[in-house]
Amino acid sequence: MKQLELITPIKNPPLVGKQKYLDWLVIGLLLVVGLTAAGLPIGWTRELKRQYQANWYLGLNLAYGVVYALAGWWVLRRDEVSYRRRWLELTALVLLPNLFNIWLRDTSELKPGQSLFGRDADIGLYFDYGHAFAQGFSPSYNGNPMEYPQFALLLFWIGERLAEGKLDNYYWAFPTWMLVWQVVAATSVYGIGLKVRRPQAGFLMAAFAANAPFLFQYNYTRFDMAPTALLLAAVYLFIPGRGKEGFRLPRRYNSLAAGLAIGMGFLTKWLPAVVTPFLAGAYLQSKKWRELVIMGALTGGLAVIIMLPFYLADPVAFWYPYKFQGSRKLVGESMWFLVQYHWLDPQKILPNRPWSESPVILLSNELLTAIQLGLVGGVFGLAAWRFWQIRRQFTLLCDCWAAAGLIGVVVFTLANRVYSPQFMVLLTWALGAVFVLSPVGWRGNLFFCGLMCFAGVTNYLVFHLGAFEEEWLRFSLLFFTSIWLLTGWLFWKTLTQNFTQRSRGNIAPGDKIN
């Protein structure tokens, strides 16, 4: 590890005006790149599952990663003050490309009366759920109750109300509603950067995730952006405030706000709940029993308040999402299917599609669930062992446990027996937040952008080329290899940082950590 390096006064100070000009130039470049990434894939979406499109899509994501790697060289080497108040610029970077993408998708027709959003059946399913709920009926599909947690129904219903009960309007209303959650996610990541005194990294990662070409389709035809935003908001609210930058709560309210966000995230898509024991770890090590009780009570209490009316109205429909998801078996796009296919199945039997259940099940649900929980428990155990030496530095403890908690959520997601392509939304944002929380510089940004773009494009191509067995299986292997490598690297950076140097009380405003 490099030692703490104090910034000494410079006899000939740099031209501040020139540096500001270059900052604006970089931000303008990122906006142009975002608009380009939002516009180019629209034409390709018309002809899905075509092998020749893979090279074009791969090239677009490669160029995107290169631009952000080069931008990171400038942004991450700038002083902290330069990126403390970039809310307006970040909002423009998030909203303009995404609104442009939504407009293009809604106005580009595949055939008369059908927009690009209409190709994906899930967005129509969300409308049916929301419309049925608005009419007072219990939503169902093919005779089965809704397969998602209860708070997700409120998301579908709000989208349906914004669309005035019309499916044609829903194709733009629901994506716009999801864009609101994307702004929440970007604000949370940037806010985390302000709190841990790495606003440059927070700005860069929020912009990177908001306009990643491999996420545009999943941002609007799925609702994963909402639980992802709630997870990041919980982490942001959990971390104690420092200085005068960003929205801050009194410390006694941090656990309350984080508990509320986790509770809503759990009722949207369960995954955010995995962060709970990690955030509780900081309270346990610091013996802050009141905060621990408050966070636990709010998380559980909110869940009961929201879930109880649904249970009283229809107990069968209430339990169906939990029973349905718990009974799903191993699918083709899963890390464990690759293990089964390459090492356990002598016949090498493939499912019809990556998202289909494997015709041969050699790894039971019980075994895979135990391994999944064991991996998350391993992350928790390593974090507890490593963070024990900083048990008296509560502020730093919160930073470290939050980073480990996000890694825990990522590991839980990757180790699931059912992997869906839209999970890349959560993975990209969560790992970006870990980048902000960990002492990673501009050189590490090269590695992050390269691997994340590679993982994103291989994840997309698994389903883009799902009709070609030899194609999707190879891309699936590349995806899990790259995303696990990136996750492990960020976890290693979290565990091996120099805690003494990172103590907030020991670093003056002019100090620098390399």
pLDDT band for 305, please (50, 70, 90 cuts).
confident
CA–CA separation, 70 vs 67, rounded Å? 5
The mean of the pLDDT values for the chain is 84
pLDDT tens, 122-134? 888 899 889 888 8
The C-alpha atoms of residue 164 and residue 446 are separated, in whole angstroms, by 45
Report how far residue 57's alpha carbon sits from residue 62's, in angstroms, rounded to the nearest whole number: 9
Number of other residues whose CB lies within 10 A of the CB of residue 287: 9
pLDDT at 394: 82
pLDDT at 507 over 70: no
When pLDDT is averaged across residues 319-342 and rounded to a whole number, the result is 87
pLDDT at 505: 42
Instruction: Give the pLDDT of residue 12.
Output: 41
**Can you read off the two tokens belonging to residue 435?**
């980048």
Tens of pLDDT, residue by residue over 394-418, are 888 889 999 999 999 999 999 999 9
Q: Of the candidates 136, 143, 142, which has an alpha carbon nearest to the alpha carbon of residue 157?
A: 136
Q: Which residues pair with 140 in a beta bridge?
A: 145
Domain count, the chain: 1
- Backbone φ, ψ for residue 419 (5° rounding): -110, 130
What is the pLDDT confidence band of residue 514, given thresholds at 50, 70 and 90?
Answer: very low
pLDDT > 70 in the chain, percent: 86
- Residue 474 has φ and ψ, to the nearest 5°, of -70, -45
Between 55-64, 402-411, 493-502, the lowest mean confidence (pLDDT) is in 493-502
Q: Model pTM?
A: 0.90
**β-bridge pairing 140-141 and 511-512:** unpaired
Averaged pLDDT for residues 441-463:
91
pLDDT at 453 over 90: yes
Phi, psi (degrees; rounded to nearest 5) at 355:
-90, 0
Highest mean pLDDT among 168-172, 195-199, 240-244, 429-433: 429-433
- The pLDDT confidence band at residue 112, using thresholds 50, 70 and 90, is low
Q: What is d(CA 1, CA 171) in angstroms, rounded to the nearest whole number?
A: 51
Residues belonging to the chain: 514
> Higher pLDDT residue, 167 or 142?
167
How large is the angle between the packed helices 199-210 and 423-437, nearest 10 degrees? 170
Tell me, what amino acid is at 186? A
Domain that holds residue 69: 5-512
Question: pLDDT higher for 500 or 380?
Answer: 380
- DSSP E strands in 33-133: the ranges are 109-111, 114-115
Q: For residue 271, give every residue at least 6 positions away whose Cβ sits within 8 Å of its Cβ, in sequence order, or none.
A: 227, 231, 265, 409, 412, 413, 426
pLDDT of residue 8: 37
Lowest average pLDDT, out of 29-33, 60-64, 89-93, 291-295, goes to: 291-295
Instruction: Provide the pLDDT confidence category of residue 14 given band limits of 50, 70 and 90.
Output: very low
Tell me: pLDDT of 181 over 90. Answer: yes
Q: Name the band, by pLDDT with cuts 50, 70 and 90, for residue 31.
A: very high
Tell me how far CA of residue 449 lies from CA of 10, 330, 483, 498, in angstroms. Answer: 32, 30, 12, 24
Task: State residue 417's pLDDT score.
Answer: 92
pLDDT of residue 414: 96
Give the Cα separation of 165 and 162 in Å (integer): 8
pLDDT for position 376: 96
Alpha helices in 394-465 (DSSP H): 394-414, 423-437, 442-464
Q: Is the pLDDT of residue 384 over 90?
A: yes
Average pLDDT of the residues in 13-21: 61
Q: Do 175 and 168 contact (CB within 8 A), yes or no?
A: no
Tokens of 371: 């391994």
| pLDDT value, residue 254 | 78
Torsion, Cα 240 245 246 252, to 10 degrees, reads: 30
Query: Which tokens is 309 given?
Result: 């009316």
Q: Mean per-residue pLDDT for 192-198? A: 91
